[in-house]
Amino acid sequence: MSMPLDHHGLQEFERQIAGRYLERILGLVKGEPLEQVRMAFAKAGLDYDRVRRNPGGFVRYDFYRLLHELNRDACCPGICLRFGQARDLLDLGVLGYAVLSCRDLGMAMQVIVKFHRLTSNAFELTITEDGEWTYARQWIKPQYARWRVVIDEEHVTGIWRVISSLLHSEASITHTRIEFAHVEPIYGSLCRDLLGGMPVFGAPETSIAFPTAWLSRPVHTADHTVEQVCESQCDQLVEQMRPAGDLVDDVRRLILTVPPNCAPKLNDIAGKMLISARTLERRLHATDTSFRKIENEVRMRLAAQYLSLGYMSAKEIAYMLGYSQPGTFHRAFKNWYGVTTQAYATASSDPALQKP
C-alpha cells in the first residue's frame, strides 16, 4: 500500500474530510427532486448551489445538521445509512491510512477510539469486550442530542464500514448485533435491508456488537511503518485540537488586544486565529456560546473594573469599550449586572456597601 506521507495541519485535515463528506452526500442526493434537496440544504443553513460550486465552504459542523434535514425530508429517508455504506476509509485521510495499516482488527479499533475526535466531536466512543462479543458504544453529548437518529445511524454504519473494509469476506453483518436507542423510523425496512438481520430499536443505548474472535483477524493491508507514521501525524493533529474552554479563552484574549474605542469584529478575531468567521462561530456555537456573548462578557468585566477604580466616568468608559452611545453602554451594563453604573460605582467605592 502506498500513501502520501506529507503532514497536513488540522485545518487542512478538516477541510479535506468535509469535502469528501460533501462529495458523498451530493452523490446520494443526485437524481432526487432538486427543489426538495435545495430546501433541505436551506433548512440546514446552506445554499445548495453555492456549496456545490465551492465545496471548501462546507465544514464538518454542517454535517449532522444537513443529514438531519435530508433524513427527515420525504425525498431522502435513511440517507445516513446509505452514506455509511458509500463511505471509504480513505475519506478519513491520514486517519484512514492509519487504520488500514494496523496489523489486526483489534489494533484498528484501538486507533479508531483513540482518534475518533478527529472525525466527530458529537459523541464519545468506547470499545469493550464482553466474553464472546465486543461492543462499540457511543455517548452523545447533550448539545447534539437533537440529531440522535443520524448520529446513531452514522455510528453503526461507520463501525461496520471499518470492519468490512479490513476483513472483507471474512466478516458478515448478519453475525453482528445492532441496537438503536431511537424508535424505528419510517424507513425501518431499509435499515433491515442494509444492516441485515433484525436491528433492535428503542434499546437503552446504541451499539453494534461483533464476535470478539474477529479482533485477532489480520488486516491484509497491514504495514507497520506506515501505521507508525500515520499515527504520529494523528497525534499531532489531536494536539492541535484545543478543548472548548481553551477556544473561548483564546477569543477572550484576542478581544482584549483590540485597541480602545474600537469594537472587536468577528472577522478580525477569526483572522488572527487563522480560521474563517463562519468556522469560529460554528465552533463557539458547539460550546453553547457565541462571539457576541463572549464580547459582551469581556466588555462588562472591563467596565466593572474601570468603575471600581473610580478615575473614569461612565461616559469615558463607554467610549473606551467601543460603544458609540453612552446610553447603549448603560443599558447593557444594567442588563448584565442588574444595577446601574452609578450604583455599581458607589458600591465599589463604599466598603460598607460591598459584599463580604
- pLDDT at position 61 is 65
- Helix or strand (DSSP H, E) at 210: strand 207-211
Distance CA 117, CA 286 (A): 14
Angle, helices 63-72 vs 79-86, to 10°: value is 130
User: What phi-psi label fits residue 93: left (phi over 0), alpha (psi between -120 and 50 degrees) or beta?
Assistant: left
- pLDDT (0 to 100) of residue 180: 93
| Non-local CB neighbours of 31 within 8 Å, separated by 6+ positions | none
- List the pLDDT tens digit at each of the 356 positions of the chain: 544 444 457 778 888 888 889 999 999 998 888 999 999 989 888 889 888 888 766 776 678 889 999 988 667 888 989 998 888 999 999 999 999 999 999 999 999 988 888 888 788 888 999 899 999 998 887 778 888 999 999 889 999 999 999 998 888 988 999 999 999 998 888 888 888 868 999 998 899 999 999 999 999 999 999 999 998 888 888 767 755 557 787 788 788 777 767 778 888 888 777 677 888 888 888 888 899 999 888 888 888 878 877 778 888 888 888 888 889 999 999 888 888 988 888 876 654 444 43
111: closest CA among 124, 127, 135? 127
Tell me how far apart the alpha carbons of residues 335 and 329 are, in angstroms, rounded to a whole number.
10
Q: What is the pLDDT of residue 164?
A: 93
**What fold characterizes domain 10-238?**
H-NOX domain (3.90.1520)
Q: In what order do the strands lie in the sheet with 207-211?
A: 123-130, 133-140, 207-211, 177-179
pTM of the model: 0.66
Domain ranges of the chain: 10-238, 244-353
244-353: in CATH 3.30.750.24: no
Query: Is the alpha carbon torsion for 152, 155, 161, 164 positive or negative?
Result: negative
Instruction: Say what the pLDDT of residue 77 is.
Output: 85
> Helices (DSSP H) in the chain: which residue ranges?
10-29, 34-43, 48-53, 63-72, 79-86, 94-100, 105-115, 148-167, 188-195, 224-240, 244-256, 266-272, 277-285, 291-309, 314-320, 326-337, 341-349
Q: Is the dihedral of CA 138, 144, 146, 150 positive or negative?
A: negative
